[in-house]
Amino acid sequence: MKRSQKIALGTAQLGFDYGVNNERGQPPIEHAFEILHTAYDGGVRTLDTAQGYGAAHQVIGSFHRAFPAKKFKIISKFATTNDCSDSALIESVFKMVKELEVEALYGLLFHSFHDYENMSEKVIQLKSELPIQKLGVSVYENNELDIVLTESAIDLVQFPFNLIDNENVRGEKMRALKLQNKEIHVRSIFLQGLFFKDPKELSGNLCQLMPVLTYLNTIANEHKITIAEMALNYVLNNPLVDKLIIGVDRADQLKSNLASIDKPLNIPDIASRISAFPYDTSVLNPNNWNFHD
């Protein structure tokens, strides 16, 4: 399998402004199409999207209609709505398939663990009636992974994994998921762009990450590579990861990312090397970020 096929393109940036380093906002449709062309031509065959990603579904559907020879596998996420009846849920998923211009979803994910708690029993009962190949859930915390691990109807689990939310934090849970034959998709490869910021410019509770981010820059400089190359290859080289999700707001960003995985890098023991720089793992969840001192 080509290394690029292990990548899923995140589409939040196609639907609205997303990421701490995104200064351009949502790209116009022609730029969005350029990103999708670049992905497909580069070997990427999977898109990660959601009902909550603004116009992302519509952008993808428009692309599929305009370029039917470039159909992607789609993983989409849904959230709890006011109408949680069986018919409303089934109608919602079929509507997603129609607007995305695909016959079925590769994966349908609960957008959060909260949604999973509220809706899992109902959705699992309806699973066979839905146009989906796999049912999954997107989570943040390891204790949420412990609960999902016991649910046989869940085929796919998505969670953050990167240079600092790493093997030390997630390794045991990832091995347990694989023992249950669950597909592992990881996101926040670049920690929503935080890896690209100058560590000295961090503020609020993110300041505690300054030493470890500074050290990561030191490692990258030692090996004459970029942070992006190091972050991508750290995740890509993990055999437990089935898909890594990256998002971009420009086609040239994606070209650069795809080029960096053509020269595989293996920097041993990154996780153990940075363990000397302690940080509160709760700050790895962007929901807990505080930019004010």
Q: Identify whether the C-beta of residue 89 lies closer than 8 Å to the C-beta of residue 123.
A: yes
pLDDT digits (tens, 9 = 90+) for 224-264: 889 999 999 999 989 999 999 999 989 999 999 999 887 66
Structural domain boundaries of the chain? 3-198+227-271
Q: Identify whether the C-beta of residue 60 lies closer than 8 Å to the C-beta of residue 33.
A: no
Per-residue confidence (pLDDT) for residue 16, from 0 to 100: 66
Fill in the amino acid letter for 73.
K
> Which residues share a beta bridge with 136?
109, 156
Give the pTM: 0.92
What CA–CA distance (Å, rounded) separates 28 from 237?
Answer: 34
Q: Identify whether the C-beta of residue 215 lies closer than 8 Å to the C-beta of residue 226.
A: no
pLDDT digits (tens, 9 = 90+) for 28-62: 899 999 999 999 999 999 999 999 899 999 999 99
| Tokens 């690029």 -> residue | 4
Concatenating the DSSP letter of every residue in 154-221 gives --EEEEE-SSSSSHHHHHHHHHHHHHTT-EEEEE-TTTTTGGGS-GGG--GGGGGGHHHHHHHHHHHH
When pLDDT is averaged across residues 119-125 and rounded to a whole number, the result is 91
CATH topology of domain 3-198+227-271: TIM Barrel (3.20.20)
pLDDT digits (tens, 9 = 90+) for 160-218: 999 999 998 999 999 999 999 999 999 999 998 899 999 999 999 999 999 999 999 99
